[in-house]
Structure 1
Amino acid sequence: MPLPFLTADRAFETTDDVALPFDNRDHWRRPYRPGPWRVGVAAILLLLASYVLFAAVIIALTDSPSEATVVFGIAVLVIAGALRLLRMGVWVCGRGVRRVGFLFTRTVSWEQVVAVRTAQQPVRWLGLPRTVQGQALTLVRQGRGPEDAQPLLTTHNADFLARGQAFDRAADAVEAWAAEYARG
């Protein structure tokens, strides 16, 4: 079963001078591949879900369908969590930029974007409360100051930890989309 959200578009990895090499720019795209930390955690969750599904089958064979249904539901929740974890990140299209989190998704239209820039600042390490010095791709929205800029990507999140070149390519791609469509 192909998982289109797991792979980035190959056009972002080319060395052409074309920053936005797509015919259909209204299709949401992630301009980078998910990082090894994110994929590894999702793989472990899917492995755990396979054991839970096997346990549900064993429980169902022992004539306890209500308990098997509960265990099967837990497995479905673990699978949904793993797939949502893989879907997390920044997505772009001709209409705006979308930041997909584990529980919430926020979309900002390009008309509201004043600037998208890379800045050296303290960033959260793997999304934990601990901060380290790193780079962040920040989005400044209309009607808000630069101090309210929300980071889209950081060098220390699950996609770019120890992958500086991948962060630079992804930041350049998002900045190219912003240069093409944003007001500022």
Structure 2
Amino acid sequence: MPLPFLTADRAFDTNADDVALPFDDHDRWRRPYRPGPWRVAAAALLLLLASFILLAAMIIAFAGALPGAAVCAGLGLVLIVAALRLLRVGVWVSRHGLRRVGFFGTTTVPWNEAADVRTVQQPVRWLGLPRTVQGQALVLARAGSEPLPLITDHNADFLARVEAFDRAADSVEAWGSEYRPVQA
């Protein structure tokens, strides 16, 4: 079963550094980078836990306690949904705009509302925790609004992967320069 949210930019697979927007269909929402090892490991652990809980639900159902089995099965399904949502978290781009997918919500900004997409040095959260460290962040500047931080070099996708952060930031900036209207 293909998992389209795990596919990465073909430019990084073929080492074609001269291709900023390597896709034929720019209308589809795409993540221009691969999910990082921390994010994949957390999702794998959630799926492992879900498998044990679903096995427990089956054993409880065979023992005859159907309400307990239903609770365990429901908890297992919640863990599976959480793992899949965790894998979808990140920045997605298309011809229509930029989408920041969070665990609990999604923000979509059309390119005509985006003033600038740039990398800045600022305090960033380490793996999404309250602790902040000095790092780089790719931010989306919008007219009349606070800058929207998109990705950082200390999140679950790019921790200890500076080159991957630079490639992803360059790719998102390339999408922005391609589809953002020229400011007069």
- The TM tier, using the shorter chain, reads over 0.9
- Other-structure match for 1:168: 166
How many residues get paired?
Answer: 181
1:3 aligns with 2:16: no
- Other-structure match for 1:179: 177
- Other-structure match for 2:127: 126
- Other-structure match for 1:96: 97
CA RMSD, 1 decimal: 1.1
Paired residues of 1:42 and 1:82 also in contact (CA < 8 A): yes
- Other-structure match for 1:21: 22
Q: Distance in 1 between matches of 2:111 and 2:18?
A: 23
Paired residues of 1:12 and 1:173 also in contact (CA < 8 A): no
Q: Deviations over 1:30-66 (max 9, x none)?
A: 0000000000010000000000000000000011112
Displacement of 1:17 in angstroms is 1.8
Q: Distance in 2 between matches of 1:110 and 1:12?
A: 24
What is the one-letter code of the residue matched to 1:48?
L
Pairs within 5 Å for 1:46-85: 46-85=47-86
Paired residues of 1:45 and 1:82 also in contact (CA < 8 A): yes
- Other-structure match for 1:35: 36
138, 151, 154: which is aligned to 1:153? 151
Q: Which runs of 4+ in 1 moved over 4 A?
A: none
TM-score (structure 1 length as normaliser): 0.95
DSSP 3-state at the match of 1:178: helix
Paired residues of 1:49 and 1:79 also in contact (CA < 8 A): yes
Displacement of 1:12 in angstroms is 4.5
Paired residues of 1:116 and 1:178 also in contact (CA < 8 A): yes
Q: Mind listing any 5+ residue stretches in structure 2 that lack a counterpart?
A: none
